[in-house]
Amino acid sequence: MEALCSSSLLTRQALPLSSINFTGAGSVSVPGFSLPSLKTRAFPDCIRKHSAVGIPRASVAVEQKVKLALIRIGTRGSPLALAQAHETRDKLMASHPDLAEEGAIQIVIIKTTGDKILSQPLADIGGKGLFTKEIDEALINGEIDIAVHSMKDVPTYLPEKTILPCNLPREDVRDAFISLTASSLADLPAGSTIGTASLRRKSQILNRYPSLNVLENFRGNVQTRLKKLNEKVVQATLLALAGLKRLDMTENVTSILSLDEMLPAVAQGAIGIACRSNDDKMANYIASLNHEETRLAVACERAFLLTLDGSCRTPIAGYASRDEDGNCIFKGLVASPDGTRVLETSRKGTYAFQDMINMGKDAGQELLSRAGPGFFDS
């Protein structure tokens, strides 16, 4: 009760004692507020003395109610992850007037296992799900209302009690080549070192340019990797063009690799938004943002990945797109980790959900049979 006499409390909404009614029963009532019943002797001397002589100098601080956010968005804390969360927030605010008010949407940063452990390759610490597990747990536990993910980080299965009904419009899926000394992969001198944490990139690089070296476990966010490049730890690196665009950092791009030179990761450039399966309100909010062409393409690619049972130890690439006639064109690839063997396939069909799922599965089954046992062990 000593805090009631503290002047620091007067920075909040304060009511003079003249507006407080002391009842004979020893309780206190404040207009517009309900406070618990207190014995008169529980009040410190400063309040009882002032009330007795009618001098309204002391005040009782009354906490203002804090407006709770209507949506709490869970995300990783990297600059790219935050850019994607802010893109989601902005789209929600533009689509729903009730979310446009200040404080209606809160962004909650959650540190994942993949963010905490940077000294080891992803495959050695658990592979897929390292950048989503803790966020999914917070969603299931009700600590957040929706989760924003880079779709290429999302395992081919979703945790129980969650759904992912929304993909935002996809960014450019290609990879960017970044170097201070060369204009392209082909221009790098023999023996040059390229930094990447991706086996997909490593295998495709070594398949085309076996004279180059690849520094594995070249991990960290975009800014960290560019810093290592500037420090000449490596002579070049590859980054997703989509991330550089979302960070407004395309001035760092030396050249852009064609899809024939570097097939992208499954779902590269796509953002996914998940919610609890029993939360119809959130499902309706985020479903309104869904870009169906992207959702179908990602579903096709993930069906391919699921069939191959791909992990971080498996070099896999896949890309589904709509051609000028409105059909789906799918290209898929698996490679040995050392890049000595690369198997490719393609499919064409109608741009419809089930047909595209079937295309992805069929392409995966073909490459599995062609690869044979032990293919990924080389």
- Let me know how long the chain is: 378
Cβ pair 152, 266 in contact under 8 A: yes
Question: Does residue 153 carry a catalytic annotation?
Answer: yes
SS3 348: strand
Query: Which residues contact residue 305 at a Cβ distance below 8 angstroms, ignoring those fewer than 6 apart?
Result: 156, 266, 316, 318, 360, 364
Across the strands, what pairs with 105?
71
Full DSSP string of 169-196: PP----EEEEESS-SSGGGSPTT-EEE-
SS3 string of 66-83?
CCCCCEEEEECCCHHHHH
Which residue out of 153, 260, 323, 338 is catalytically annotated? 153
CB count, 10 Å around CB of 306? 17
Question: How far is Cα 323 from Cα 326, in angstroms, rounded to an integer?
Answer: 5
Q: What are 224's two structure tokens?
A: 């960290």
Helices (H) then strands (E): counts for the chain:
10, 17
| E strand residue ranges, the chain | 14-16, 21-22, 28-29, 59-61, 71-75, 105-109, 146-150, 162-167, 175-179, 193-195, 213-215, 236-240, 255-256, 271-276, 316-322, 327-335, 342-350
Query: Which residues contact residue 244 at a Cβ distance below 8 angstroms, ignoring those fewer than 6 apart?
Result: 176, 222, 250, 252, 253
Backbone φ, ψ for residue 6 (5° rounding): -75, 130
Positions annotated as catalytic residues are 153
